[in-house]
Structure 1
């Protein structure tokens, strides 16, 4: 069975000329044609819709198409709601983000004595992510409370001294959810409903439960070895909790960021804490940055059967959200391309980039381990399929030569621009992605 794309909705309004909307349509269509997207996208300035489109099936077995009102699991976009919940409790005087975790967890392990709530929010605690544990494959099938999951990682050794490094950790946000419930006396779900979803009239957002009947909820899919869609693996939704347990719609997510930056959720002081960049440009539940001179906050999400991306440009009140109910690495690239088009910039679609032939002897000169300054390592290997790149512990991506110095992956909007010595060997490269650049230098051969 092939997941047939069905185009549902397209709207173009006053921001930018009509060709911009047509080009946005091409962004979505190119990913549909490549079997890389099924879901909904929305671009808004304020409450004005620039572009909206839904494609593919919300339920492929019953031929139910995705629509604007379709609800998607949003994965780690959940983390910004968790961060806001923590900051609301700080405003209530019930905690401080600089509190040691041990102040609120009486039996905290000795290794946690140097961990502050700030470290959990900014992914600098050193607590290993429980979703990377070998036992996670079985753990995710089980109904568990936040307290139960904390027990899974509480006695694991820290991976580094708190505050010295950035390392994304679902454990940190799970622990934040546990603290929110313990300190507030409410469930995580109840607090979000009463303090955020209700006041902002986010009527199509909530905590996802496997057994609940949720109208317009999309089923999640992944692609099998033959490239055809199949039902995504099961995950008990009690497990992701405050690290990734929510569902929402494109419209509700744009309503959320407008409310967040419009003073409807947090005080100015709390919002400033949330969007102040720490290590790796990560604030509290949000990445901060600039793209072509435009300041933005953003976060992506991934969970069984779903990938998502939400970006907001507060100065222009521009919201871009991409929600997919097929696992794909394309959502971030789509959001980046749609945002550029919304600002009147030119975009080269991934399908329009052309690779040139390079023989294996030449490609071998790019293979090696490259280190960024204080950041992750990129490993590039020559394999049968071609040149493969791997950033940290992320999945491998093939990179294709556009020239002898510029390579690009087809799944994400990025490029690697290499420096070459007189012998033709790569000595380093600049990774360009989402309006940012990071320098990588080649390490010595082992």
Structure 2
């Protein structure tokens, strides 16, 4: 009897091992097929790493880190990670809170030498969660010119400190890079250390993230990727940006392997307590916590953030219940790393990704389609008109090309031209009251006004 049981156990282990290997090989094949489409259609170049449990299940470099030298992207390539920087800034703030150096709920005026009266009710919590109402300096009309110049932190703050708030602090969510510039300044004031030195001493060095740091234009950095963009479907060098500009909102570089080290540390108390991590990963408004978006992807809890930077587009997407992480770092800014990460997750979960859903052609009934027609206010000076043409929903904004909204379900739509997800929201009486727009980590509620 014991011999029979042992034989059965051996058989079952062998059977499931074969199935797991087959599953992994099948996913690898699907991922390679998907990525080839991204390369052919959007000129993707970069590095991808997928971790499941304690193992790396997929990692691969694509295209060139530097087109002129013919250097390929690989696991050691260093990319500017853009707004993924925000989660490190948020972690530094949480660390300082736990050291008793600051308080999330304290007014930021406590830590600033100078501040406008309009900021007197803004707290650190408001900055962390993009609920301060402070205008985003990267939306300034002259930003594309300014980004070529060198700025001190005080110079950066001066660009937005005298602008009126866009809403009362705490009222709503509006993703603003200005918030995280102020957080970096507060880190320096409270710690007495330059921002990059604080991160190096208290985050990167303890975690042995040896290939992560603050990027400086003049620094010779081994394995640094060059940034690219598209012009009429031709890959060209991305415009120059002085790296003093992004500062604590987007100034870091890293590799997929170092970001995996970071990911693993977030399951432990190596940097902050469990309570500190809970604060970071608790969504406030529009699913945003402290430097992270916390929502779900096809009913799987997802903690994620994108990182766009001129010449680069990145994403880190964590599924804590499954202990699965997808990291996409790319040195071309015209692709959507968040979309790639989301689609790869769908493949791994055995679900359909966006292009597959579109190919299926979800049929929206005429009555439902009619309820979405109207005007929606994104900003007071930006109105989106939804209309029906040739039995399709079309989005129109004065001065911009028309965009088709392709239905993924009755309430969810996809606008491929701008890589946006559109959700129509109804009240208790099934009347459409607003349209929620999501482009990477930027989310906006647009109320129906007509």
TM range (shorter): 0.7 to 0.9
Q: Which has the higher helix share?
A: 2
Cα distance, 1:265 vs. partner? 1.5
2:94 matches 1:87? yes
Structure 1 residues 90 and 192, CA, compared in 2 at 3 Å: closer, same or farther?
same
User: Looking at CA atoms only, which structure, 1 or 2, has the larger radius of gyration?
Assistant: 2
Alignment match, 1:163: 170
Q: TM-score, normalised by structure 2?
A: 0.82
2:147 matches 1:140? yes
Cα distance, 1:293 vs. partner? 3.1
Structure 1 residues 204 and 440, CA, compared in 2 at 3 Å: closer, same or farther?
closer
2:297 matches 1:297? no
Alignment match, 2:197: 190
2:342 matches 1:333? no
Alignment match, 1:422: none
For each residue in 1:275-330, what CA deviation from the matched residue of structure 2 results, as whole angstroms up to 9, or x when unmatched? 11100010000000122332221000111100111111122221101111111243
Structure 1 residues 101 and 53, CA, compared in 2 at 3 Å: closer, same or farther?
same
Whether the 8 Å CA contact 1:330–1:411 is kept in 2: the answer is no
Counterpart-to-counterpart distance in 2, 1:75 and 1:333: 16
Number of residue pairs aligned between Structure 1 and Structure 2: 415
Structure 1 residues 396 and 132, CA, compared in 2 at 3 Å: closer, same or farther?
farther
- SS of equivalent residue, structure 1 residue 77: helix
Cα distance, 1:135 vs. partner? 2.5
Alignment match, 1:238: 244
Counterpart-to-counterpart distance in 2, 1:245 and 1:56: 24
Alignment match, 1:9: none
For each residue in 1:338-397, what CA deviation from the matched residue of structure 2 results, as whole angstroms up to 9, or x when unmatched? 122223x233462784498x9xxxxx977642479xxx98554689xx965489xx9985
> Alignment RMSD, CA only?
3.7
Q: Which of 318, 326, 347 is the aligned partner of 1:320?
A: 326
Mapping for residues 91-170 of structure 1, pairs under 5 Å? 91-170=98-177
Alignment match, 1:443: 448
Alignment match, 1:202: 209
Whether the 8 Å CA contact 2:279–2:289 is kept in 1: the answer is yes
For each residue in 1:402-425, what CA deviation from the matched residue of structure 2 results, as whole angstroms up to 9, or x when unmatched? 899985434687766889xxxxxx
2:277 matches 1:271? yes
Unaligned runs of 5+ in 2: 1-19, 364-368, 426-430
Q: TM-score, normalised by structure 1?
A: 0.82
Structure 1 residues 117 and 36, CA, compared in 2 at 3 Å: closer, same or farther?
same
2:57 matches 1:69? no
Whether the 8 Å CA contact 1:368–1:442 is kept in 2: the answer is no
288-297 or 211-220: which moved more? 288-297
Cα distance, 1:400 vs. partner? 4.5
- SS of equivalent residue, structure 1 residue 223: strand
Counterpart-to-counterpart distance in 1, 2:164 and 2:401: 25
Cα distance, 1:63 vs. partner? 1.4
Cα distance, 1:439 vs. partner? 12
Structure 1 residues 104 and 439, CA, compared in 2 at 3 Å: closer, same or farther?
closer
